[in-house]
């Protein structure tokens, strides 16, 4: 198994575990144990350093885990959107890889679609979108 595949499997498993109530309960339990142990250690600098170091390390690792999960989710969503664009007869296939364009090109497309939306609203095409009267 490649390093990439191994990391992906580990990241998926960690993301599933850390998103469960059990993981939150374990983390809360650890903090509670730390708080209760404060008087035993006289609320010393070392006692404080334990929680600070532990939370810093976990936060540091979670940043990479969250970024990996978000990247995979975004890529999967982009592929699904690309397929919808490709499969829709009236869609412009030039939009398939917009995420690869620079900001200036994206701004041009955004401006074009904002103008199309304004034009449709001006023609009254947005009436279907308004909530019904109660």
26 and 62 part of one domain: yes
Q: Are 109 and 98 in contact (CB under 8 A)?
A: yes
Q: Is the pLDDT of residue 118 over 70?
A: yes
What would the pLDDT profile of 43-65 be if each residue is shown by its tens digit? Answer: 999 999 999 999 999 999 999 99
Average pLDDT of the chain?
89
Does any domain span residue 129?
no
And the tokens for 119?
């034009």
24 and 36 part of one domain: yes
**b/e code 92-118 from CB counts within 10 Å (16+ = b):** eeeeeeeeeeeeeeeeeeeeeeeeeee
Q: What 3-state DSSP class applies to 117?
A: helix
37 and 11 part of one domain: yes
Give 96's pLDDT tier (boundaries 50, 70, 90). Answer: confident
Q: Is the pLDDT of residue 90 over 60?
A: yes
Q: Is the pLDDT of residue 32 over 80?
A: yes
Lowest pLDDT segment from 41-45, 67-71, 113-117, 128-132: 128-132
82 and 117 part of one domain: no
Of residues 70, 93, 71, the one with CA closest to residue 82: 93
């Amino acid at each position: 198994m490649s390093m990439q595949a191994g990391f992906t499997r580990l990241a998926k498993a960690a993301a599933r575990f850390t998103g469960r109530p059990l993981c939150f309960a374990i983390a809360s339990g650890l903090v509670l144990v730390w708080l209760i142990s404060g008087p035993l250690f006289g609320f010393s600098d070392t006692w404080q350093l334990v929680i600070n170091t532990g939370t810093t390390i976990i936060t540091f690792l979670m940043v990479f885990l969250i970024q990996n999960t978000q990247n995979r989710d975004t890529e999967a969503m982009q592929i699904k959107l690309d397929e919808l664009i490709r499969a829709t007869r009236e869609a412009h296939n030039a939009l398939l890889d917009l995420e690869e364009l620079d900001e200036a090109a994206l701004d041009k497309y955004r401006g074009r679609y904002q103008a199309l939306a304004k034009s449709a609203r001006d023609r009254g095409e947005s009436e279907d979108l308004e909530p019904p009267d109660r």
